[in-house]
Each structure stands twice: as structure tokens, then as C-alpha cells.
Chain A
Amino acid sequence: MNEQNSIPTTKTERSAKFVKTGFQIGGNYIKHYSKKLFNPQLGRDELNEDNAADIYKSLSELKGSALKIAQMLSMDKNILPKSYIEKFTQSQYNAPPLSGPLIVRTFTRNFGKTPEAIYDKFNLVSSNAASIGQVHEAELKGKKLAVKIQYPGVGDSISSDLKLVKPFAFRLLGMSEKELNIYIKEVEERLLEETDYELEVRRSIEITEACKDLKNVVFPTYYPALSGKRIITMDWIDGMHLKEFLQTNPSQELRNKIGQALWDFYNFQQHELRAVHADPHPGNFMITPDEKLGVIDFGCIKEMPDDFYVPFFSLISSDVIKDKKRTIEAFRKLEMIHQDDDQAQIEFYYKSYLEMIQLFAKPYTSKIFDFSQPEFFTQLYAYGEKIAKMPEFKQARGVKHFIYVNRTNFGLYTILQELKAVVKTDTYNPHLA
């Protein structure tokens, strides 16, 4: 059994971790260039792979918010080279667990009882990690349950973690400081919400109740009486993760069914609830034995205020985009074009963002969209790469809501691509009145 026995928690310890990563990456470059002296054919792939392994290693040892950031980075596949992605996506599954007595302690804290006294069966060895906590299997009255337990001190360390991640992310993503600050603040808010398990249970119940009529989507039942500040008890959802599911070679029909369920789940939330499960990484979904999509984690919810929702979706699902004046007006509302931009800048950003919106809106423009076609994603990646190289995009553009909305939709598109699903995209449409 490979239990990790210490989480570096004080700021110095954690800084040390990042410093170490910095050194290692430096070392990897040295290794790369010295090898290249002898073998000029050596590509950057190996170097990227080395770097990714080191970054992943330090991030996964950090747990908590740093692991979360590893997950977020892994979502933005267009920013990172392929080998980074492979390592980062690992963090979505397994991180080493905490000791048995601390779990018992957390229970006695929350309920004044040990887990054995609460459940009929409780497995002290966790079945997987949930980035700021870990999941245990339990049983009560013949029902299989999933019990999520939060690591102690997570909330405390988030802000200091993010401060540490900043220079790291700065280098990794090549963002300007101002842009990064908006990003970090928004991320910090969401992360702190995620540590509030009482809030999570309330929201989970609200959203699963609102979504209960969606076809082929299933949710666990949540048990508020068996949940608390650090513990959530819900039904255990049997099934496979996306990766395992795809290995079983599912039929196109089945892929479409799961893909449609996913699409409906997201678009119902975006347009009917105006609040969306903003953590679409593959670890949060299960494909159940009766071929349904199980959604298991509502820690991260992004609410979309009208002043974002209306201009953004008017660009996507109405004629606004055909009218340059109205489009620019919408871009201004979304702070993609700034007050003090001159005529040339307005023209430049209008063109660039128009391209982005058109790409993004592509699945919406036809009634049916085939996510298996590689051209769409090639275009998306190419656009991302082009943008990343433009000095004009080094500064902050766009309201903060984009961070999670982009992440959500991009995550959704990515999963649908992996599923190679053909999806009816007009099931839930934006309300712009």
C-alpha cells in the first residue's frame, strides 16, 4: 500500500516544493541541451515529458489547491504541449491517501461517532482521491455509499498556495501579471467554495433536483444528515470512468447516447439554471452499467450573471454576430474590447474575438454536431496557439467569468471529442429576452 505520509503544509515547505520543481525543470533543460550536443535530432518531446513528470510529481505531492490547479491546467489542453497533458490528467484519478486514525478523528469531530458506529460497513482504505479530499466506500442498510472526506487545513492553505503557484503559472502559461490576478482571484473564490462541504451538499441537492428529468443522466442521492463540514455521504455510483469506458470499445450509438446526456446536462444548466457544474474533468463522470451518465461531484459551481450571460450567448445564438456594430458592443460589455482602445485596436480585437466566437459557437450553428471530426479541434488548438504567440493577448482581456465558462465548455467539447459523439445541439437553447 502506498500511502503518502506527509503533506507539505507550511508555506516554507510548500515553497521549497516549488523551488525544487523550478530546479528540476532547469535541470531538465540542461539535460536536454547536453544530450542535444551529441544527438541533434533529439526533439523537444522528451524534454517536455521530463518537465511534465517533474511538475506533476510536485503538484501531486502538494495536494489541496495545487492539485486542483494541476487539474485545471490539464483541462486547457490547447495551452500545454501534449506530454504535459498526459501527466496532468493522471492527477484526476489518484493521489495518495491519509491515515486511518485521522479519518476516524474527522468523523468523531463531525458526528461524535466513529465511522463504524454510523455505517454498517466502512472501508478505512480510500478508494480514490478527490483533490481536496478522498472517497471511501461504506454501506448502510444494504445500500452502498460513497463518503467523501476533506483533508484538514485545506481551506487555510488555499490562498497561500495560490500565491505560490502564481510565478509558476506565470511561467507555464506565459500570462501577464494583471491577467493572472483576475484569474487567481476567481479561482480562489471557487476553490474556497469547494472546501465548504455543507454548501456542496445543498447545491448538489438543488441541482440534481432541477436536473432530475434529464434523459440518461443519473445522480447520487445525498444524505445531509450524514454530511457535515468535512464529510459528504452520497450513494455510490457504480460504473466506469471515461477512459475505461472507451477501452471497452463502445458502439457509436452508445457513444452518442452518453455524449447527448452530457451535452443536455451542461446546456440545461447553462440556459435553464444559469449555474453550471464547472468541473468537467473526466474523473467527475461515470458511465453506469445500464448505460447512463453518472455525475458525481458538485464542488465547483459557476453562476452566470445576466451581464455576462446575455451578451455572451447573444453572440453565439443570434444574428448579433452578423452585425459588426452590435458585435463590438457585446465585446465591450464583456471587456474584450476596452474603453481606451484606439480604432486599430478595436479592429484587431474585433477580428480576433470574432474568430474565437465563431469557432466556439460552431457546435451551435447546426442542429447536429459531430465531435469526432478532428478539423474542429485542430482549428481550436491552432487558434489557441496563435493567440498565445500574439503580444496583444499578453494583457488582460475579457471578464473574469470567462475563466470558468471557457473551462466548462472547453472541457465539455474535449470529453465529447474523446467520446467521438454525434450530438443534437439544439436541445436546450439560450434565453436572451
Chain B
Amino acid sequence: MATSQQIKTGYIDYVLTHDEKPKSVYSFVKKLKITEAEFYKFYGSFESIEKLIWAELTAEAIDTIQQQEIWAQYSSRDKMLSFFYSYTELLKGHRSFIVYSLKKHTDRFSTPEVLAGAKPIFENFATGLINEGLESGELADRKFFAKRYKDALWIQFAFLVNFWINDDSADFERTDEAIEKGINVTFDLFQRSPIDNLVEYGRFLSRNVNFSDISSKH
């Protein structure tokens, strides 16, 4: 009896050896010496195997960092940084497959189909962090925009994974820098900034001061 794990391993082995997916489920199961029914019991298509691998890696990274002793002391910003450091570390062990899996995706402006499973997991994680940050006051609660914070982080996710794939520095050090800078900039934007204060001040003035009065006095 085949297991989900077996099929997955068989699939990874196949695509890394042949640099393309199997011609058909039929030919693939024949090689694996299992029945088609067994394959479909776990997966609807080859794409769903890839999606699952991404989803599993993402969930694993989140799980790992949350078990760190230091986790509770981290700010939302630190938690997000920590996620990306662990994630890229984890991806390192599967680099060939990751590169293969994303290589097919050439449209830089849409989310790769294979990440469809990872996206809700990451977004769920990000939303949790954002809410934590909003509650503690670390992040600014802005009407309309606060709901889009998670989208900005997803863009970073896609950008950083792509950066890592193209990174040829020793030990992917440049990706570390990209994470440190990228996430910090993103969180800087989420934080209360002079712009917020300016908007607040404008609101205050419009409520409390009659502009024409002031100018006529001078």
C-alpha cells in the first residue's frame, strides 16, 4: 500500500532526475509500482503534490520558530524576521526542488500556482502577528490600510523566495541581508510615522481652528 509520503518522494526524485514532470499519472504510477487509484487517493494532480510540499515547508518553518524559547520575547517585527530566516534555512535542504518548482513560473507579477497552498498558511501566520502588533501598539492601526498589511508581507514572501533562488553568495548571505532590510522597511511602514502625526494634526486643525480667523488676525 502506497503512502502519501512515498508518492511525494517518488515525484521529487522523478522531477529532479528528468527536470520535468512525468508525462502522465499512468506512467508515473507504473514506475512507482502502485495503482492509479492509490495515487488519486492522496493527490488530484502533480501540481497538488508540489502545492502540498510548499504548504508543508511553510507550516514546518512556523512550527519550528514558535517552539524557540525566545519566541515570546520577540516583537511582531522580530517574529517575521525569524520566520524568514528559518524558512530560507529550511528551503536550503530542498533547494533543487524549490528551484525546479518555481522555475516554471515566469510571470513575475502573479503568485505562482504552486504557492497556492502555502499562501493561506503564511497569511494566517502574518495576520496573527499583525493583530498582535496592532494590539501592543507596535504597529499603527490605520483605517483601510491595516487590513492590507498582510498583503505587503506576502509580496515580501514572494520577493524573498525569488531572491534566494537567484542568490549565489556563500551560504546565501545576501538573502540574509535582503530579509533584514526588506522586513525592516516593511515594518517601518507599518509603524506610526510622522505622516500619521501629520494627518492627525490636520484633522485636529480642521475640527478646532477656523483658518480664516487666524489669517485675518495677522
The DSSP consensus for interface residues of chain B is helix
- In whole angstroms, how far apart are the Cα atoms of A307 and B5 in the complex? 68
> Is A98 an interface residue when CB atoms closer than 8 A count as contact?
yes
Q: Which of A7, A100, A114, A116 has the most CB of B within 10 A?
A: A100
Q: Chain B nearest CB: distance from A114 CB in Å? A: 7
Q: Kindly list chain A residues whose C-beta atoms are within 8 Å of the C-beta of B184.
A: 5-6, 99
* Partner-binding segment picked from B15-23, B24-32, B77-85, B115-123: B77-85
- In whole angstroms, how far apart are the Cα atoms of A102 and B184 in the complex? 12
A102 with B180, Cβ < 8 A, contacts A5-B188, A114-B70 known: yes
Contact in complex: B176, A100 (CB < 8 Å): no
> Is A124 an interface residue when CB atoms closer than 8 A count as contact?
yes
> Is B74 an interface residue when CB atoms closer than 8 A count as contact?
yes
Name the residue on B nearest A115 (C-beta).
B70
Q: Kindly list chain B residues whose C-beta atoms are within 8 Å of the C-beta of A98.
A: 180
A101 with B188, Cβ < 8 A, contacts A108-B89, A114-B70, A116-B69 known: no
Q: Kindly list chain A residues whose C-beta atoms are within 8 Å of the C-beta of B177.
A: 7, 9, 152-153
A100 with B70, Cβ < 8 A, contacts A5-B188, A108-B89 known: yes
Q: What interface size band does chain B fall in?
A: 20 to 34
> Is A109 an interface residue when CB atoms closer than 8 A count as contact?
yes
Q: Kindly list chain B residues whose C-beta atoms are within 8 Å of the C-beta of A102.
A: 81, 85, 176, 179-180
> Is A156 an interface residue when CB atoms closer than 8 A count as contact?
yes
- In whole angstroms, how far apart are the Cα atoms of A60 and B70 in the complex? 30
Set A9, A109, A124, A156: member contacting B181, Cβ < 8 A: A9
- In whole angstroms, how far apart are the Cα atoms of A152 and B180 in the complex? 10
Q: Chain B nearest CB: distance from A153 CB in Å? A: 5
A6 with B185, Cβ < 8 A, contacts A101-B82, A105-B85, A152-B173 known: yes
Contact in complex: A104, B180 (CB < 8 Å): no
- With A99-B78, A105-B89, A105-B176 given, name 4 new contacts (CB 8 A): A9-B181, A99-B77, A101-B82, A116-B69
The 3 A-B residue pairs whose C-beta atoms are closest, nearest first, are A101-B82, A101-B81, A5-B184
- Which residues of A pack against B, CB within 8 Å? 5-7, 9, 98-102, 104-105, 108-109, 114, 116, 124, 152-153, 156
